Amino acid sequence: MSELFRKIAPVVDELGELFAARGYEIALVGGSVRDVFLGRIGNDLDLTTDARPETVLELIRDWADSIWTIGIDFGTVGARKGNWLLEITTYRSESYDPKSRKPDVAYGDTLEGDLARRDFAVNAMALRLPGREFVDPHGGLDDLHAKVLRTPGPPERSFDDDPLRMLRAARFASQLGFAVDPAAFAAMTAMAGRIEIVSAERIRDELDKLICGDQPRAGLRNLVDSGLAAHVLPELPRLRLEIDEHHRHKDVYEHTLIVLEQAVDLEEGGPDRILRWAALMHDVGKPKTRRHEAGGRVSFHHHEVVGAQLTKKRLGELRFPKDVVADVSRLVELHLRFHGYGSGEWTDSAVRRYVRDAGHLLERLHKLTRADCTTRNRRKAQALSRTYDQLEERIARLAEEEELGKIRPELDGNEIQEILGVPPGPVVGRAYKFLLDMRMDQGIVGKEGAAEALRAWAGENGLLP
């Protein structure tokens, strides 16, 4: 800890002296203090002060390298000093009106009062500056050692003040691997419906951090078991009732959590939110497509199509960026495509289409497909893995031969117009699609071969002038 604090000491001590010289208090607080004790710290520092935002701006104007005021309505001033990003927030308390989606902010006068309104005791520790006095009125350090999330005061009051804290409990379970205190979990369960007053954007941010945490399974279990998921991600608890068609898992919910974990294991270079969300949502179409077949089997025909639609709707309602919605939905739609490959029956044309349909998501589709194999039959799992290895090898070979990811017809629009003697318009578009399909089916045939085929196609369809 001492080594980590020495790293941040220069900037926070300097800031502490700056505020003290003008008669104001300031303290390092919240996650910044918690993370020092956990042996990790980034470049973002949280501080709290009795100075009002306008005064904070005045105090740091000549000290900071840059300043931003996007959060000033909530009492927060942002600043950069060297490589450090700081958020300085005036002592405050905030609560929600039952009919409002935005918190009401009231400024406080003491550090102890500010700590009392924090979400969890592990985030209610502070270090007064510049003297470095450790302040822990709610036993946060003990909770940190016990790896438990407990609210500073009664959890019902804390969650009523800001219902988003219930989601934060699940998020910290994922990020830190901590357990939620039984009293807090009971309050989450009893008050789950209160989360609906919180804006979609704030809910999205917490869910995204949860999914990208080190232990997303733990966070998701808290959401589902408390009933919160029914309000913010209802597709997930609905999976608990659906029996996996392979009868290898208790239900599709368990299967989904395993797929998510296996997808995480395949990541390279940190959390991949697109892959993780796709793994979480890949089977959400099963409840709507469940059918009981002869012999006791259960089928979920076209659940990937329905799942993609549900995914698009849910992520859209959570206000995810359009590109994220599109990518996750597309992966859900494509996640079953490999199962038509059999033991290698696909033609080169089918392989080309697989790559074309996946586009920039191909590597993620590889990982999702592999993660989706959760059979306990070791021989079957190994056979599936070998088959997918073979498919990837074929893709690599075709890519090397044809630059598969950049497949285009061998004739461009201008050449099509010249050969057919037609102006720009729908005919050129239809011809382009014909040539692209031919390229997928036959590979490279050369410009002369493509031109000959184009003329024949145009003649058959009455498109020649």
Distances in whole angstroms, Cα of residue 458 to Cα of each of 354, 424, 428 = 27, 15, 10
For residue 117, the SS3 value is coil
> Which amino acid makes up residue 238?
R
DSSP 183-249: HHHHHHHHTGGGGGGS-HHHHHHHHHHHHTSS-HHHHHHHHHHHT-HHHH-THHHHGGGPPPTTS-S
* Phi–psi pair at 463, nearest 5 degrees: -105, 0
CA 25/CA 17 separation, integer angstroms: 10
**The model's pTM:** 0.80
78 Cβ contact list (under 8 Å, min separation 6): 67, 68, 69, 70, 71, 85, 86, 87, 88
Query: Mean pLDDT per 10-residue run, the chain (465 residues)?
Result: 71 94 95 89 91 94 93 90 94 68 75 93 95 94 96 93 94 95 97 94 97 96 97 94 50 92 93 97 90 76 92 97 97 89 77 88 93 82 84 83 67 88 87 86 84 88 76
Q: Which residues make beta-bridge pairs with 76?
A: 89
pLDDT for residue 249: 43
Q: How far out from the chain centre does Cα 51 lie?
A: 36
pLDDT for residue 331: 97
Q: How far out from the chain centre does Cα 369 lie?
A: 18
193 Cβ contact list (under 8 Å, min separation 6): 231
Number of H helices and number of E strands within the chain?
A: 23, 13
Q: Each residue of 305-335: b (16+ CB within 10 Å) or e? A: ebbbebbbebbeebebeeebbebbbbbbbbb
**Sheet containing 26-29: which strands, arranged edge to edge?**
66-68, 76-81, 84-90, 44-49, 26-29, 126-129, 133-135
CA 399/CA 280 separation, integer angstroms: 30
Dihedral angle sign, alpha carbons of residues 317, 319, 325, 326: positive
Which residue is associated with the tokens 């800890």?
1
313 Cβ contact list (under 8 Å, min separation 6): none
H or E element that contains 323: helix 322-334
pLDDT for residue 242: 52
pLDDT for residue 5: 72
> Which amino acid makes up residue 204?
R
Distances in whole angstroms, Cα of residue 35 to Cα of each of 30, 70, 119, 176 = 9, 25, 16, 10
* Phi–psi pair at 85, nearest 5 degrees: -110, 125
Residue 239 near residue 283, CB atoms below 8 Å: yes
Residue 365 near residue 335, CB atoms below 8 Å: yes
pLDDT for residue 206: 97
CA triplet 286, 263, 170: central angle to 5 degrees?
A: 80
> Which amino acid makes up residue 127?
L
For residue 443, the SS3 value is coil
For residue 9 the two structure tokens come to 């000491």
CA 238/CA 389 separation, integer angstroms: 33
Q: Where are the beta strands (DSSP E) in 25-182?
A: 26-29, 44-49, 66-68, 76-81, 84-90, 92-96, 103-107, 126-129, 133-135, 148-149, 179-180
CA triplet 153, 234, 256: central angle to 5 degrees?
A: 105
